[in-house]
Amino acid sequence: MKKLFLLLIWTSLSVSPFAFAHHSGTKTETKATQQLVEKAYKQANLSGVIDYKLFNDAFLAYKKTPDRKKSLLTIIDYSKPSTEKRFYVVDLDKMKLIFNTYVSHGVNSGKKTATKFSNVVNSRKTSLGTFLTDTTYYGSNGYSLRLDGLTSGVNDKARERYIVVHGADYANPSFIKKNGYLGRSWGCPALPQKLSREIIDTIKGGSVIYASA
């Protein structure tokens, strides 16, 4: 009778030992991930270069991308004006920042700073969210890198919009000196011509890009 009474109390509280195990496992996993983020941020000397919260969000997006094939994380910080180097490529194996340069935003996203973003075809605005790099090709903008938008409703029309990484003369630092802001694209993250091929060849084929504002 006593055993039955205890069983009824246990059942009424809807407590399961598995719930405790799952909760404990989740907490451990979260702590381990947080430690990994802190380690990568510190060893790659990103303090004062990339905002910690942005890096944390980008790293979590990287971890959640199942089809990634490279331990490279590209971060684009569109909260910064185009006159600042806001394009970063971090090698998470070597714990090292390997590229930091300028990147354009869409002509309808803003002038010096991007404030408007879109997933709409022909909007000529920048898209935010998580992207996965794919293959390269030669198009109207020269050597370019195809991107797949992985964030539903935010950038999943990247292919349809022809949002790609490419080099452009308007993305060169000389454009800033002449005009006071970086030139703008039709929504593509355009890079300085001298660096574009090297960066594209580094991040192509299944690396994660995280764009935030």
Where in the chain are the domains? 17-212
Task: Give the pLDDT confidence score for residue 27 in this predicted structure.
Answer: 77
What is 17-212's CATH number, 2.40.440.10, 3.30.450.20, 3.40.50.300, 2.60.40.10? 2.40.440.10
Task: Give the pLDDT confidence score for residue 20 in this predicted structure.
Answer: 32
Return the H-helix or E-strand segment holding 55: helix 52-63
Task: Give the pLDDT confidence score for residue 29 in this predicted structure.
Answer: 72
3-state secondary structure of 5: helix
Task: Give 157's contacts (C-beta < 8 A, 6+ positions apart).
Answer: 119, 120, 121, 127, 149
Task: Give the pLDDT confidence score for residue 174 in this predicted structure.
Answer: 97
Q: What sign has the CA pseudo-torsion 131, 143, 105, 83? A: positive
Task: Give 31's contacts (C-beta < 8 A, 6+ positions apart).
Answer: none
Strand partners, 89: 74, 99
Alpha-carbon gap, residue 180 to 125, rounded angstroms: 20
Print burial letters for 15-49: b (CB count within 10 Å at least 16), e (below 16): eeeeeeeeeeeeeeeeeeeeeebeebbeebebeee
Do 165 and 144 form a contact (C-beta atoms < 8 A)? yes
Terminal CA-to-CA distance of the chain, rounded, Å?
62
pLDDT tens across the length of the chain (213 residues) = 444 444 433 444 343 333 333 445 677 778 998 999 999 999 999 999 999 999 999 999 999 999 999 999 999 999 999 999 999 999 999 999 999 999 999 999 999 999 999 999 999 999 999 999 999 999 999 999 999 999 999 999 999 999 999 999 999 999 999 999 999 999 999 999 999 999 999 999 999 999 999
Alpha-carbon gap, residue 26 to 184, rounded angstroms: 43
Task: Give the pLDDT confidence score for residue 25 in this predicted structure.
Answer: 62
State the Cα torsion 84-88-159-173 to the nearest 10°.
40
Task: Give the pLDDT confidence score for residue 28 in this predicted structure.
Answer: 78
Task: Give the pLDDT confidence score for residue 194 in this predicted structure.
Answer: 97
Query: Strands, DSSP E only, in 110-212?
Result: 129-139, 142-149, 164-168, 190-192, 208-212
Pairing of strands 96-101, 190-192: unpaired
Alpha-carbon gap, residue 139 to 97, rounded angstroms: 29
What is the DSSP annotation of 67-90? T--SSEEEEEETTS-TTS--EEEE
